[in-house]
Structure 1
Amino acid sequence: MGREFNQLFDEWSHSYDETVNGNDPEYEEVFEDYDIILSKVAEKAGGTVIEFGVGTGNLTQRLVERGLKVIGIEPNEKMRSIAGGKLPDVTIIDGDFQDFQVNIPVHTLVSTYAFHHLTDEEKGIAIREYSRLLPENGRIIFADTIFETEEAKKQMIRESEERGFTRLAEDLQREYYTTIAVLQNILIENGFNATFTKLNRFVWLLDAVKEGRD
């Protein structure tokens, strides 16, 4: 469920904002246009929003600025503490993409740079639950590193190794980065109509709308 990466985020929490702002050469392209990516996700959200993987609260801040009611879900205690310090009026609870408790109607699910912490099987389980949770025309709006094909992923790993980006290459192999085809199939099976828009060399915007029942 992604919690196997909690120790990594314990270590990364103090420097996360520096990384996403382009101060780590290995991850500079991963986080290229970071502010624009967050804004695109926030602009598409509406109604009551669940944000998965709040991290340090950067997307949360944009959602709040748009006047949206946000419930944040974050499995890492240190990240929750940082986000809570920035946004004391936002409810941020312990949970993850599959394990969360929300007792009010929700219209939009958002996340950035986090869904790859689930295996493809776990992604399927999560999206099945989202289909149950969301009303007709409810939306999933996720921005994450996704690849067009498995070969494209392998090529990116090779390129990272050739550039001496050892941490990035290890990351791409260790975590559960998937392909557009895999996600598209999962979404269709669970009643979503999805589009994918490329935002930088690594990140795609997934915008999935729950279709009505005939």
Structure 2
Amino acid sequence: MGREFIEIFNNWADTYDASVSGKDPQYAAVFANYEDILAEVVQKSSGNVVEFGVGTGNLAEKLLEEGHEVIGIEPSLAMREIAAIKLPTLTVLEGDFIDYPAFPYAVETIVSTYAFHHLTDTEKDQAIKQYSAFLPEKGKIVFADTMFKSETEKLKAIEAAKNQEFYNLAEDLEREYYTTIPVIQTIFNTHQFDVTFKQMNDFVWLLTAERI
């Protein structure tokens, strides 16, 4: 359920916003066009929203500015504390993609950025099956995350990171559960979603799925 990575995010919380701004050269390509990525997720969202992996609240802030009702779900205490300071009106609950509290309203859109890769492919399938059960017809899932066209492309990205001596990035790509577009497409199609993909930078794709 991704909770094996909580300690990493507790330690990263204080410097996370600096990382997404591109100040860390190892992750500059991963977070390229970060503001545009968040803006596209917001643009594709409708109605009441749940955000999984709310982190420090960057996406939630933009959703609130556009008038959405937002519930944030976040397993990291350190991240939740920062989000609470930045966005005191935001409700942020302890939970993860699979294990989360009941929502206080009907959900029309589920969003997440830079987080779904913390689930194995089996867990991803479980999560999407759960969302399919409560999202209405035409309800949406809008995720932006690192994924690859194929396992070959993933291996190329790892090798390129090592060649640039970006060893932290290479370790992340090897340790975490970055998947491929064919695998993700099969998961969503299996659980009654139409899904499209748009590449946002060398690593991140925008996934937009609609419940059918």
The interval holding the TM-score normalised by the smaller chain is over 0.9
Cα displacement (A) at 1:84: 0.7
Report Cα offsets for 1:18-42 as digits up to 9, x if no partner. 0000000000000001000000001
Q: How does 1:1-214 map to 2 (within 5 A)?
A: 1-101=1-101, 102-211=103-212
Q: Deviations over 1:105-135 (max 9, x none)?
A: 1000000000000000000000000100100
Deviations 1:33-77 (A, max 9, x none): 100000000111111000000000000000000000000000000
TM-score calculated relative to the size of structure 2: 0.99
Q: Aligned partners of 1:87 and 1:110: how far apart in 2?
A: 18
Find runs of 4+ consecutive structure 1 residues off by over 4 angstroms: none
Using the TM superposition, name which of 29-38 and 94-103 deviates more. 94-103
SS of aligned partner of 2:178: coil
Partner deviation per Cα, 1:186-206 (whole Å, 9 max, x = no partner): 000000000000000000000
Q: Percent identity?
A: 53
What amino acid does structure 1 have at the position aligned with 2:128? I
The alignment's TM-score, normalised by the length of structure 1, stands at: 0.98
1:174 alignment partner AA = R
SS of residue matched to 1:23 = coil
Unpaired stretches in structure 2, ≥5 consecutive residues: none
SS of match in other structure, 2:209: strand
Amino acid at match of 2:200: L
Distance 1:103 1:64 in 2: 17
Whole-angstrom CA distance in 2 between matches of 1:103 and 1:43: 23
Report SS of the residue matched to 2:138: coil
C-alpha RMSD of the superposition? 0.5
1:104 is displaced (CA, Å) by: 2.1
SS of aligned partner of 1:14? helix
Distance (whole Å) between structure 2 residues aligned to residue 89 and residue 29 of structure 1:
32
